[in-house]
């Protein structure tokens, strides 16, 4: 017994199913079930919600999510070695856990879930940012999910919540903060994982806003932000020259000094610039 359920401790599970962690799959496992239950609680009240988990591995966070009352968990795992361990969890929680073997970058089973939907994952670091960007840029907003509760390297977590005037501020902060409330809710040292990674980690909780914080066309906003930060040391009048020949007029019209650098420009100002470029 493990404390949160009647299943064996995770070290035994890993031994029994011979799941030696593989670096290529970003496998740094959480084996403390009290910690995984705590991360599951960071996702909010799970009762009455479907949860999508990416990369359940041997199932520590999966067990946390189920023990905390998730109505249903849909988990996508790339490593077939983990499937027998996950099948044991599914048997202990009849009808509440479905596991799909596959690459989360290639399949998106969100449409198979019933709202409210939460996404919760200790993400493989090599695909974490890419998945976050996809979840933040659906064709229609608000998205099908209501919250994202995700583990990242601390440095990536800082880029998500960064404010203007800091080194971490950039495209990821603007993308996340435009359409969500994003905050770091937990810090974890390397020792929390097996094997310990080289860097510290943090859990970020993002709540989808009903509408973007400020109006702007997503494609235009993305274009100005990308151009601004691709050459972040350049003044905006130079960095954004390719976006519009009369960019200085637009910058002046919305009150951004053309000599400013992207790092100093707020989300509200970037949205105003995007609207000006669109003639709004």
Q: How far is the CB of 113 from ligand SAM (least distance, A)?
A: 16
Q: Does 159 bind ligand SAM (CB under 6 A)?
A: no
Q: How far apart are CA 220 and CA 134, in angstroms?
A: 17
Q: Burial letters for 27-65: b for 16+ Cβ neighbours within 10 Å, e otherwise?
A: bbbbbbbebbbebbbbbbebeebbbbbbbbbbbbbbbbb
Residue 227's SS3 state is helix
DSSP state of 7: S
Contact yes or no for 66/89 (Cβ under 8 A): yes
Q: How far apart are CA 147 and CA 136, in angstroms?
A: 11
Q: How far apart are CA 124 and CA 156, in angstroms?
A: 13
* Cβ distance to ligand SAM smaller for residue 20 or 111: 20
* Cβ distance to ligand SAM smaller for residue 52 or 206: 52
Q: Which of 7, 13, 14, 28 binds ligand SAM (CB under 6 A)?
A: 28
Binding segment toward ligand SAM, per CB under 6 A, in 22-30, 111-119, 216-224, 252-260? 22-30
Q: How far apart are CA 274 and CA 64, in angstroms?
A: 42
Binding segment toward ligand SAM, per CB under 6 A, in 28-36, 87-95, 132-140, 162-170? 28-36
Q: How far is the CB of 186 from ligand SAM (least distance, A)?
A: 13
Q: How far is the CB of 247 from ligand SAM (least distance, A)?
A: 39
Q: How far from 204 is each of 17, 91, 168, 199, 274, CA to CA, in Å?
A: 31, 30, 15, 16, 28
Q: How far is the CB of 125 from ligand SAM (least distance, A)?
A: 7
- Closest among 99, 105, 103, 96 to 48, alpha carbons compared: 96
Q: How far is the CB of 22 from ligand SAM (least distance, A)?
A: 7
* Cβ distance to ligand SAM smaller for residue 26 or 170: 26
Q: How far is the CB of 11 from ligand SAM (least distance, A)?
A: 12
Residue 23's SS3 state is helix
Binding mask of the shown chain, residues 45 to 84, with x at each position contacting ligand SAM by CB under 6 A: ---------xxxx--xx--------------xxxx--x--
- The residue sitting closest to ligand SAM, measured at its beta carbon, is 55
Q: Which of 7, 13, 14, 30 binds ligand SAM (CB under 6 A)?
A: 30
Contact yes or no for 63/88 (Cβ under 8 A): no
* Cβ distance to ligand SAM smaller for residue 135 or 178: 135
Q: How far apart are CA 251 and CA 139, in angstroms?
A: 28
Alpha helices in the chain (DSSP H): 10-16, 33-42, 60-67, 83-92, 125-136, 154-161, 171-179, 218-230, 236-239, 247-253, 267-277
Binding segment toward ligand SAM, per CB under 6 A, in 25-33, 180-188, 202-210, 234-242? 25-33
Binding mask of the shown chain, residues 96 to 135, with x at each position contacting ligand SAM by CB under 6 A: -------xxx----------------x-x--x--------
Q: How far is the CB of 167 from ligand SAM (least distance, A)?
A: 26
- Closest among 64, 65, 84 to 15, alpha carbons compared: 84
The residue ranges that bind ligand SAM (CB under 6 A) are 25-30, 54-57, 60-61, 76-79, 82, 103-105, 122, 124, 127
């Amino acid at each position: 017994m493990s404390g949160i359920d009647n299943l064996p401790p995770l070290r035994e599970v890993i031994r029994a199913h011979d799941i030696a962690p593989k670096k290529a799959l970003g496998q740094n496992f959480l084996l403390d079930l009290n910690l995984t239950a705590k991360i599951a609680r960071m996702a909010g009240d799970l009762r009455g919600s479907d949860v999508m988990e990416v990369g359940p591995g041997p199932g520590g966070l999966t067990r946390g999510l189920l023990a905390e009352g998730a109505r249903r968990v849909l988990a996508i795992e790339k490593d077939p070695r983990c499937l027998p361990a996950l099948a044991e969890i599914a048997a202990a929680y009849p009808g509440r856990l479905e596991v799909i073997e596959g690459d989360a970058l290639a399949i998106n089973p969100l449409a198979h879930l019933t709202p409210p939907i939460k996404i919760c994952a200790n993400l493989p670091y090599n695909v974490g940012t890419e998945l976050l960007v996809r979840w933040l840029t659906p064709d229609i907003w608000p998205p099908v999910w209501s919250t994202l509760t995700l583990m990242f390297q601390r440095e990536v977590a800082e880029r998500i919540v960064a404010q203007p005037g800091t080194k971490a501020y950039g495209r990821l902060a603007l993308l996340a903060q435009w359409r969500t409330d994003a905050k770091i809710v937990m810090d974890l040292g390397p020792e929390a994982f097996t094997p310990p990674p080289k860097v510290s980690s943090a859990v970020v909780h993002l709540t989808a806003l009903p509408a973007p914080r400020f109006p702007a066309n997503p494609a235009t906003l993305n274009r100005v932000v990308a151009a601004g930060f691709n050459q972040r040391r350049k003044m905006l009048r130079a960095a954004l020259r390719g976006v519009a020949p009369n960019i200085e007029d637009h910058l002046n019209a919305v009150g951004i000094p053309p000599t400013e650098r992207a790092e100093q420009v707020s989300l509200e100002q970037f949205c105003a610039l995007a609207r000006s470029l669109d003639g709004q």
